[in-house]
Amino acid sequence: MAALRILIADDHEVVRRGVRALLEGRPDWTVCGEASTGREAVEKAKQLAPDVVILDIGMPELNGLEAARQIHQIAPQTGVLILTVHESEQLVREVLEAGARGYLLKSDAGRELITAIEALRGRRQYFTAGIAERVLDGYLRGDPAAHSGPPAGGQITAREREIVQLLAEGRSNKEVARTLRISLKTVETHRANIMRKLHIHTLPELVRYAIRNNLIEA
């Protein structure tokens, strides 16, 4: 059997090193690359065609959810495992909607990461135990939140979510245009549309929206 190729994406080098150390003990697994931003993770997923991508949620330029959506679009056969410090049922639902197949708390990674990757390798889903139980309980109880539609972030398009994140991170319109390789006029049009759709009038309001919808971390 060919070696399992894994891409690690996290903006903290110490986390990437720790994850790599956990994985390199497996003779049939290889870490084919690392990324420190969500945008870099998408590009390396295109270039390297990994079998599994381990993605942090809170990455600069493009957060883990948006990166997962894009990776799922360009390489649906790639298993995406979200690695995060956030224990949230809402976030689990967003992870599933983004096309990821796993959700693992960083606090559980030491004892569960190998098992999680084995599950994704076998085309199965994997969730941190406590989260899986709560989400399932919500469905069994008929909790409306467990069956809710797309989150508030779904009011805007994928491109608009990228622009919201970059603006909330403090990028100027020119910097957003340069990062996304689009014209300044296009950025300004998107920004106006975003403000109109979300009924937002100031940048601080946009930042609060980005935090509430897990586009950036507080």
Q: How far apart are CA 207 and CA 193, in angstroms?
A: 16
Q: What is the pLDDT of residues 2-55, one digit of tens each?
A: 789 999 999 999 999 999 999 988 889 999 999 999 999 999 999 999 999 999
Q: How confident is the model at residue 91, as a pLDDT?
A: 80
Contact 19, 65 (CB under 8 A): no
The residue extents of the domains of the chain are: 4-141, 152-212
How many angstroms from the chain centroid is the CA of residue 195?
A: 23
Q: CATH second-level architecture of 152-212?
A: Orthogonal Bundle (1.10)
Which tokens belong to 154? 């779904």
The Cα-based distances of 107 to 68, 87, 113 in angstroms read 21, 10, 10
* CATH classification code of 4-141: 3.40.50.2300
Which tokens belong to 87? 């224990």
- pTM of the predicted structure, to 2 decimals: 0.76
To the nearest whole number, what is the mean pLDDT of the chain? 86
Q: What is the pLDDT of residues 170-189, one digit of tens each?
A: 999 999 999 998 999 999 99
Contact 138, 186 (CB under 8 A): no
